Each structure stands twice: as C-alpha cells, then as structure tokens.
A and B are shown apart, each in its own frame.
Chain A
Amino acid sequence: MSSIVSSEVSAGPEMNVTQAFLSRLEKLPDGQKVRDCIQCGMCAGVCPHGYAMDYTPRRMIAALRAGRLDDLFRSDSIWLCVACFNCSYRCPSGIPLAERLIPSLREELLSTGVGVPKELQTAFERTARYGNPFGESPKKRDAWIKEAGVKVRVLKEGDSADVLWHVGCFPSYNKANLKDTIALAKLLNVLDVDFGIMGSDEWCAGDLRCTAVGEEGLFNLLFEHNSLQLAGRSFKEVLVGDPHAYNALSREYARMGTAYRVSHYTQFLEERIPELSKLLKKKIDAKVTYHDSCCLGRKNDIYEAPRSLLEIIPGVKILEMPRNKENALCCGGGGGAMWLDSFIWERTRVPLSIQRVQEAARTGADILAVSCPLEIPRFEDAIKSSGLEGRLQVREISHMLADALGLVGGV
C-alpha cells in the first residue's frame, strides 16, 4: 500500500508512528487528499497566523512525508490554528487542513498525554461533565427564559414543534449574549413560529471545541447525548444561533449518520423577510459593516442572508470591509482559540480581533454587525483594547432586527 511517506526515508520507529497517524487521517472524509499536496504554500500564505508558525500546514505535510511526526509535537504551531478555514478554502488540492489535519494532530497530542494548554483542558473537562465549557450546571441552561419576556416552550421527550431551536452554550449562559438570545426569541414569537428549546437536555453541539480542536471523543459523547435527545422530540427543522452549532449539526452529525434540516437564524429569517418588513417600526440610522463569520461564510457559503436582513432595516447603510465574504479576516476565536488568547498572543503580533475592528472602523461604519455569538465578547473586548469605544459598536443581527421591530430597546 503506497503512502505519502517518502520511500526514500528509511523505515525507523518514527516513520511507523507517522504512518500509523497518516492511515488514521486518511480514513476521515477527504483525508486521503493529503497525498495530493503540491507544496504550493497557499495555505501558509492565507493563514492569519502563518507568519508565527514554524510549521505551517504546508510544512506539516512536508514533515509527515519525511516521517517526522514528532517534530510537529515539539512545536506550538498546532495550537495557533483558529479554524478560519482559509487554508482549506484555497488549497488547490482540496485538502481538509483545518477540518481534519490539524484536529488529528491535536488529537494525537492529547492522547499521547503531551498536553494541551490548561485553559482548553478546563473547557474540555467542563464540557464533558456539564455539557458547556463554563462549568455551569446543566439545570441552569434555560434560566434565561425567565427574563425573555415572551413565552419560550421547553420541549420534553415526546413533545413536538415545527422548529427546534438549539440555543447553544454561549447564547444560553454567557451574559454578554443573553440580550441577543432574547431578541431572537422575541422575533420568533412575533412571527408566530411554532418553536421550542430542549432546555437542560441540550448540550454543547461540539463543533467549536471538539472536531476543530481534536477532542473527537468528546464530540462523540456530545453527539450521542444530543442525537438521543433530538430523537425524542419531533420537529421539522433545527434552528441555530451559533454558526459552529450549524456546522456540527448540519455536517458532522450527518457524517455520523443523523441528518437534520438545519438553518442558521439568518437563513431562517431571510425566508421571512416579507413578514418582517411589514412589522418594522423603527429606523436605525447607522452605517453598518457586516463581519462574515468563518463558519457561516467560508465553511458554508452563507454570505447573502445576513446582508439581506440588514438591508431591510430602514436607515441602515451597508459598507463592505476590504476583506469581506470569502476573504473575511477571522475574529480569532475558532478552533478553541477562544480559550487560548494568552497562549496565542504570546506568540503572535496584533490579535486578530483587534485587526478586524480596526478594519471595520476604517470603513467609517458605526456598527459592526455579526452573526456569531463568540464575536460579541471578542469584538467588544477588541474595541476597548484598541480605543475605539464610542466610535464603533458590535451588534448581533438578531438584536438589530428586533430593535427595528420595536421588540427590544436599542444598545
């Protein structure tokens, strides 16, 4: 059986370990494409942290070809990946670099006990135990509905609804995101959508910290729990507020054999633009620039829905950043990086989130609109750190829409 490991390299124990790793990698979807690498270096060029990696994806493959898996373990490069998918998107050979190669390497590191940065370890342990990375009790996952101001049905086993809303960890627990979660609940309510949530039976969808970070076992644990819970309810489609959950539920879960019709709230609401337009009550006079989240954009080609929603809001003028759509600059929070800020900042120059808000400010926009819950804390933090407070505001599209419909106060 031929392998990408060069036949000129003499077979030693290191090469066997590398070959074992490669055969595992090649079993993953499109994993075998790693053999087609032409060492062009496109990946390294488009990677936002490429300059800081001693092993860029290209060099990782080169090392693997030389049978030198161990070298990769001695480097920090593997932990600098923010799962922005630029590399996979541009690779002429279509190698799933951010989706499969890097997570597989991370998984290798985890299982050999070489170690994972402590904060990430804590996030994993908490997710495994409590179903969310914050270590909050699962019983409190739906505590937010008490403040929603609208009725939010919690579906128990045997219940049914048209739409099952998988709320997500950040939208459920993180204080900075609660107003947006409530905004979405109010939108669904005013549109008379028959929806429900799973409450404390809902666990993390797993994409963010798991498949992208290499904890495949944890992903499987979460998958088994969630798919069992979902199977106990009947619904026509799954609605998500978090693009990472979108990725997990529509792609990864399908890969594991459980397929659902999944929409991100921007797609869901885009289908209802005619109704929403009739309910508009307020103008939001602002110049708005939209940040394409990596998981919605490059990963799943969803670029127009969020923009269409912004366009219906009276008073909104949309400005595009130079790096938009498939060229968008990652906020730096993917691939577990949400927990690795200190680690990453010690090894890179300007944090990505700061670069991005500066780019947004340069367009002259007043509002940086986002569609991913992680971006709210990241960009809010970046705005403060770069002295843009008062000049630029981050807002979730759901909140802006709800505001325009007079359902929530402005920010």
Chain B
Amino acid sequence: MKVAVIIRQVPDVVEELVIAEDGRSLSEDDVMYITNELDDHALEQALILKGRHGAHVAAYGIGGSEARDALATSVAKGADEAVYVPLEFKDRGDNHKLAMHLAALLRDGGFDLILSGMQAVDEVDGSLGGILASHLSIPYMGGLLGVDLATSGGKVTVKKAYPGGRVGVMDVTSPAILGIQSSEQPPRYVPVNKVMQAKKTMQVKEMKTPVPNIAGLFITQLQKPETGARAKMLEGDEDGVASIIANLLKERGLL
C-alpha cells in the first residue's frame, strides 16, 4: 500500500503576525513557519497505517527551507520517502494553485491514499484535498478521525466527524484523498537526535517543475479583526480580578 502525505508549512500564530506594507499580505521577513498542525496528524495517520499494514509512506514537504526540516522530522518518524516541493512566499496560502501543481506530481505515483490535513490556518480558498481529488478524479472525504483498511479488498474504512460528536463510518474505494482532522493517536514524538540524523542521511527528491501560473483569490485587505463587541477586560491582580468575577457570578445567581 502506498500512501502520500502532504505537509505544508504555515505561519506560526504563536509569533506576532505582521502585515506587510501593501496591507494585503503578511510581511515575509517577519513570518515564522511551522508545519500545519493537521498535516502533522495526517503524517501520524499514515505512519499508523505503516505500522499496521506495512504501508509505504512518501512525505511531500511544501514550502521553503522549513519544509526540508519538516521532511527530516517526517523521515525520522518513519516516512520512507521524502519529496521537497519548493513553493515561494507569493504562491503560499493558495490551495487551487497548489492542488494543480501537486496533481501533476502525484498523478503517476501509484498512491492508494493521499492524506493531508483537512484545513490549514492560512488557506482562504477551501480545502486542498477536495480540489486535488477533482483534478485526479478520485473521491475525497474530509473531517476524518480514523482510517483503516476495510475487511474486504481494495477498500478503506474511514471515520468521519459529524455534528454533535457523532461519527460516520464510511467505506471508500482507493485511490482516494483523505482530509484528516485528528489522527487516531496524537502525533508521535521523535527525539532531536533522530531528526539530526535524518537530516544528514536522508535522500530528498526535489520537484523542479514550475508552479502553475493561475490567478488566485484576490485579497484586498488583511487586518487585525475589528474590535466590535469586545470583552470588558478586568484589571488588577489575581485577588482583585477573582473577586470581581466571583461577584459577577453571584449577581447573576450562578453561585
């Protein structure tokens, strides 16, 4: 079984998000990148399939140099193959462009499953998986909490999150693209030593085909949210603030 995982680098929101002078994008110099959290879950799910069924896992790292680091981590965790897909700053956050690019790269890969996180914090044009699936004419399903091989051949059983904490069990005939919401167990830890080792010894294939030149969604403005109705902020130390809150609760008959 061959599984591809798409691992994107996205702006890390722990750091301050600085808007560029044009007011429509992030300032390139100030952005710190981190692997998209749900793509981490996708990798974990792929590794779980590797553990259970000996699947071959190919990690596709999308972005700049941070993507190469993410590939080292993926290999250290157990990915069998590492592919670097360079993507310049100006092309990031555009899933339609990325999907078209990846479709060309993945089409002949012979993958049974392509996993990616169902969402990324910087995307504004819909989930990557669905767009990619359409290009490759294969099914897509997102919001997944679990993936496994079905008891009857050629199919994959997935658990999809439905509202109210419900879980829908579905069967999909591969090849298919799966949008992961949460891997069956949290992404595993890999010691720094192993990552360093992987950095030195891994073989990375670099995709050199140019990114398609298609127009993306036209963003006119990027800004901090308007502070509309905002919370009344309580000042003071723990004692003071706790007293205020406790009294507010009392006034509302909540005690």
A and B touching (Cβ–Cβ under 8 A): yes
- As a 0/1 sequence over residues 113 to 132 of chain A, the CB contacts with chain B under 8 angstroms (1 = contact) are 10110100100110011100
Interface contact tally, CB-CB below 8 A: 45
Choose among A118, A135, A137, A215 the residue that contacts B192 (Cβ–Cβ < 8 A).
A215
B190: A residues at CB distance < 8 A: 113
Q: Output the residue of B186, B188, B193 with the most chain A CB within 10 A.
A: B193
Q: Is chain A's binding surface mostly helix, strand, loop or mixed?
A: helix
- Asked, given contacts A136-B14, A137-B14, whether A217 binds B194 with beta carbons under 8 Å apart, the answer is yes
- Residues of B within 8 Å of A221, CB to CB, are 192, 196
Which residues in B have their C-beta under 8 angstroms from that of A125? 189
- Asked if A218 is an interface residue, CB under 8 A from chain B, the answer is yes
How far is B191's CA from A215's CA once the two chains are assembled, in angstroms? 6
Are B192 and A217 neighbours in the complex by a CB distance under 8 Å?
yes
Interchain CB contact (< 8 A) of A110 among B16, B34, B186, B189: B189
Asked if B194 and A121 make an inter-chain contact with CB atoms under 8 angstroms apart, the answer reads no
Taking CB atoms, residues of chain B closer than 8 Å to A308 are: none
Q: Is the CB of A217 within 8 A of B189?
A: no
Interface check B195, CB cutoff 8 A = yes
A18 to B137, CA, bound (A): 52
Which residue of the partner chain B has the closest CB to A116?
A: B189
Interface string of B34-74 (1 = CB under 8 A from A): 10000000000000000000000000000000000000000
Q: Which of A116, A118, A216 contacts B193 (CB 8 A)?
A: A216
- Give the contacts of A19-71 with B (CB-CB under 8 A): none
A-chain residues with CB within 8 Å of residue B14 when the two chains form the complex: 130, 135-137
Contacting residues, chain A, for B195 (C-beta < 8 A): 217
A111 vs B194: C-alpha distance in the bound complex, in angstroms? 7
Q: Specify the chain A residue showing the minimal Cβ separation from B188.
A: A113
- B189 in contact with A124 (CB, 8 Å): yes
For A220, what are the chain B residues with a Cβ–Cβ distance below 8 Å?
Answer: 192-193, 196
Enumerate chain B residues within 8 angstroms of A218, measured Cβ to Cβ: 191-192
A107 within 8 A of B: yes
Q: Judging by beta carbons under 8 Å apart, are B189 and A129 in contact?
A: no
Residue of B14, B188, B194 with most partner-chain A CB within 10 A: B14
- Which A residues have a C-beta under 8 Å from some C-beta of B? 107, 110-111, 113, 115-116, 118, 121, 124-125, 128-130, 135-137, 139, 215-218, 220-221
24 of the cross-chain contacts (CB-CB < 8 Å) are: A107-B193, A110-B189, A111-B191, A113-B190, A115-B188, A115-B189, A118-B186, A124-B189, A124-B192, A128-B192, A129-B34, A130-B14, A137-B14, A137-B15, A137-B16, A216-B191, A216-B193, A217-B192, A217-B194, A217-B196, A218-B191, A220-B192, A221-B192, A221-B196
Given A107-B193, A115-B189, A125-B189, 9 new contacts (CB under 8 A) = A111-B191, A111-B193, A113-B190, A124-B192, A137-B14, A137-B15, A217-B191, A217-B195, A218-B192
